[in-house]
Structure 1
Amino acid sequence: MPAFSRERLRTVVDAPAFQRTVIAVITLNGITLGLESSADPTGRYSTAFFLIDHAITAIFVVEMVLRISAKGKAFFRDPWSWFDLIVVGAALVPASQSMSILRLFRFLRVLRLVSVVPNMRRVVSALFTAIPGLASILVLLLLLLYVAAVIGERLFREAAPQHFGNLGKSLFTMFTVLTVENWPQVAEDVMATEPLAWVFFAGFIVVSAFFVLNLLIGVIVSAMEQEVNAVRWEEDQALELEQHIAVMKEIRALNEKIDRLAAVLPDPADHARGD
């Protein structure tokens, strides 16, 4: 494709109106998929849902073709572009009766809002950036959960076998306590036989829910802050580049004016020789 036409096409694809149109189509797709899932598949609206679904798929295909044509190889260097391409391509796979599960990929198209809306894309990018730190804290949390489950099984197996009868039950019970959901009922069942069991549950909640989970939140907030700072730095660099280009244009314009004045005015050296 000629560079000029590609540049014009890139201008169209990057235009806010084009992005808003894509967002509107994705939103419409999400609404229709929800209505379709709750409606009678053999009802009178089934044909309408079928036509709308194919029309939206056609729009997404045209969008992908325009974006690939506008950006060329740069399209395939962007991970978000690959995400959009896979989601749209999955909807084009014919789903036979034996492969009807493939039709569920249509619902993934709603997730394209993540790649289209810049703020949502920053949030997901920040989460991916925070994965190394999150992994360490999650391992710490799992170790804490496992140790607490083993201790709980040893201490309260006889007092509350419905909660700590074996390691599997104990793990599930401690995970429930970790979520701080209905943990007083678990504690009361154990404390009916073991009055001091509250020390175990209170200590576990303080360490896990108050300390470790807040560490997770801190890592995510830090990653979000880094992502925002990176975006602001890129915006500042772009602004500085625009200002530099504008200053260079002014300097070139001044140089051209000086050259024109020099061509019109007489040379002082010639004037001195004439005298």
Structure 2
Amino acid sequence: MRGRVRALVDDDTFQKVIIGVIILNAVVLGVETMVPEHLAHELALFDMALLGVFVIELMLRLVAYGPRFFLDPWNIFDTVIVAIALVPATGPLSVLRALRILRVLRLVNSVPSMRRVVDGLIAAMPGMGSVAALLVLMMYVAVVISTNLYGEIAPEYFGDLGTSAFTLFQTMTGEAWPDIAREVMAADPSAWIFFVVFILVMTFAVLNLFLAVVVSGMESVESLAQHEEESDAEMMAVLTSLREDLTAVREELAATREELRSTRSEV
């Protein structure tokens, strides 16, 4: 029975149906925010029916894989999302009603290409942590320097560490930083040096390190997936060769039996 259920769960048609249900559920949750109240009850019933499909799918997967179901983090992720949807969204838990849209994230687990992207991000997390620490360190240095240099010139932008941090974050994102720079340069013409160096270091150097780390993580995941595909192809080639050898051995045994029968009949 478990083998039959596993064959059903792993079937491409079954996976496509689940993907379609996930997309349909996301559309229903979006439509619920704009339909008249007299249709809200019908949509809620339809949403519950789709939720029932998710519950049945999880139960089938649990039956198919048994305890190994909980060894896959993606299965735990799906279970948590569906469990959140099953909690009654009333009273203090009414905020969970808005979290029902998280069910669309199950699409990540259902589409292999999306899973590879997320796996790449997860693989890049250690490197991203180092880059984030470098970013915070460089940001703190720039905040202290800017507060000391321009705190009296433009207190609305650099009056204290918190204000300076927000101003430099705005500068780092490229939002209206020329206006801030011109206001400071009106009192200190050399202030452009600080802003240009800050943007070059933070925006064009440190932030781009995030992209480099993510790309490196994606490449490692892709190379691992390619290696697994090559290993599977080699295994299939070996199995095919063994099958051909077994077929040849069977044919030889059959021919030998025929010869023995012929010899016995002649005798």
User: Residues 47-104 of structure 1, C-alpha deviation per residue, up to 9 Å, x if partnerless?
Assistant: 1221111111111111111111112122111100000011011111123323212223
2:27 matches 1:31:
yes
Choose the corresponding residue for 1:16, options 9, 12, 18: 12
Choose the corresponding residue for 2:228, options 234, 242, 247: 234
In structure 2, the residue matched to 1:78 is 72
Q: Report the more deviating stretch, 128-137 or 23-32.
A: 23-32
Q: Report the more deviating stretch, 127-136 or 235-244.
A: 235-244
Alpha-carbon distance in 1 for matches of 2:13, 2:257: 49
User: Residues 185-230 of structure 1, C-alpha deviation per residue, up to 9 Å, x if partnerless?
Assistant: 1111111111110100000111111111111111100100111111
Where do 1:13-162 residues align within 5 Å? 13-40=9-36, 43-162=37-156
Alpha-carbon distance in 1 for matches of 2:184, 2:47: 55
Calculate the aligned-residue CA RMSD, in Å: 1.7
Choose the corresponding residue for 1:213, options 183, 202, 207: 207
When normalised by structure 1's length, the TM-score is 0.91
Q: How far off is 1:265 after superposition?
A: 3.2
Alpha-carbon distance in 2 for matches of 1:116, 1:213: 31
In structure 2, the residue matched to 1:273 is none
When normalised by structure 2's length, the TM-score is 0.94
Question: 1:105 corresponds to which letter in structure 2?
Answer: L
Alpha-carbon distance in 2 for matches of 1:231, 1:104: 36
Alpha-carbon distance in 1 for matches of 2:254, 2:106: 56
User: Residues 99-124 of structure 1, C-alpha deviation per residue, up to 9 Å, x if partnerless?
Assistant: 21222331211111111111111111
2:164 matches 1:170:
yes
Alpha-carbon distance in 2 for matches of 1:230, 1:165: 51
Alpha-carbon distance in 1 for matches of 2:49, 2:127: 43
Q: How many residues align?
A: 263
> SS of the residue aligned with 1:95?
coil
2:167 matches 1:191:
no
Question: 1:209 corresponds to which letter in structure 2?
Answer: T
Structure with more contact order per residue of length (Cα contacts < 8 Å, sep ≥ 6) = 2
Question: Quick one: percent identity of the two aligned structures?
Answer: 43
Q: Report the more deviating stretch, 131-140 or 72-81.
A: 72-81
Question: 1:21 corresponds to which letter in structure 2?
Answer: V
